[in-house]
Structure 1
């Protein structure tokens, strides 16, 4: 049996983290929840997951800053950025910083699953 695909969900909104976790479980995907980019980095979360789903605007480090930090690490999984502020400028900034995908909130669940499957094969 193939190993489970594990997704990190990094968002300061607990309800959103948990609802995304429930959604991913229905698709057969596991997830790890982090309330902040700092918590994710502090736990070396990038070593335990196959894909990262991170919000742009969080208290503390932003999702864009997280992308920049992760860019300097060995074996960084693909990062999908999500935001309620999904304008073309934010999209361009995220993609330039290395995001594998960009999702507008509220999250289109089919688009999210397609992005994850596209990133992790």
Structure 2
């Protein structure tokens, strides 16, 4: 009789939505070096499609451990996808990136359930620390966003 072996821990699964190809590549490399499995997506449409294909939504894909999304992207914005994430009941942390962070954008992200907000240009050490912190913190409805300062 075979005994079941403990399952190997999987690296944190990160969905990264960033329309700037160079920044997307840099963020992917940074997070991969930090031990994360990164699914790099080009825009809000791809992020939305991926979310709708997760098991939480009845699809075949494993839900992410964290979503890292730019706000302003072609197609759907990061905030529009955040609305979809909340409506689907996908309670992973969502970290928002923006080069155009005004008070209204921050308030909208907070209201929609973002767990952290980082300003661009993003400090890669701050990004890595924020991702690690958010993955290790319990998340669910009603938890507050924190602003990350470099």
Distance in 1, Cα, partners of 2:108 & 2:89: 22
The answer for the alignment partner of 2:125 in structure 1 is 110
CA distance in 1, matches of 2:103, 2:49: 31
Aligned partner of 1:34 in structure 2 is: 41
CA-atom RMSD, angstroms?
1.6
Report 1 or 2 for greater relative contact order, CA contacts < 8 Å, sequence distance ≥ 6. 1
Residue in structure 2 matched with residue 54 of structure 1 by the alignment:
69
List aligned pairs for 1:1-121, cutoff 5 A: 1-44=8-51, 47-121=62-136
User: How far 1:2 sits from its partner (Å)?
Assistant: 2.3
* Superposed displacement of residue 43, structure 1: 2.9
Aligned mates of 2:68, 2:29 — CA distance in 1: 14
Report the secondary structure of 2:16's partner residue.
strand
Runs of 4+ in structure 1 displaced over 6 angstroms? none
Deviates more, 1:80-89 or 1:62-71: 80-89
Query: Tell me, what secondary structure is at the counterpart of 2:40?
Result: strand
**Residue 6 of structure 1: CA displacement?**
1.4
Greater Rg by CA: 2
Scaled by the length of structure 1, the TM-score of the pair is 0.90
SS of alignment partner, residue 81 of structure 1: strand
Gaps (5+ residues) in structure 2?
Answer: 1-7, 55-61, 137-150
Give 1:24 deviation, angstroms.
0.9
- Give me the whole-angstrom Cα distance separating, in 2, the residues matched to 1:112 and 1:32: 16
Aligned length in residues: 121
Runs of 5+ unmatched residues, structure 1 = none
Normalised TM-score (structure 2): 0.74
Shift of 1:102: 0.2
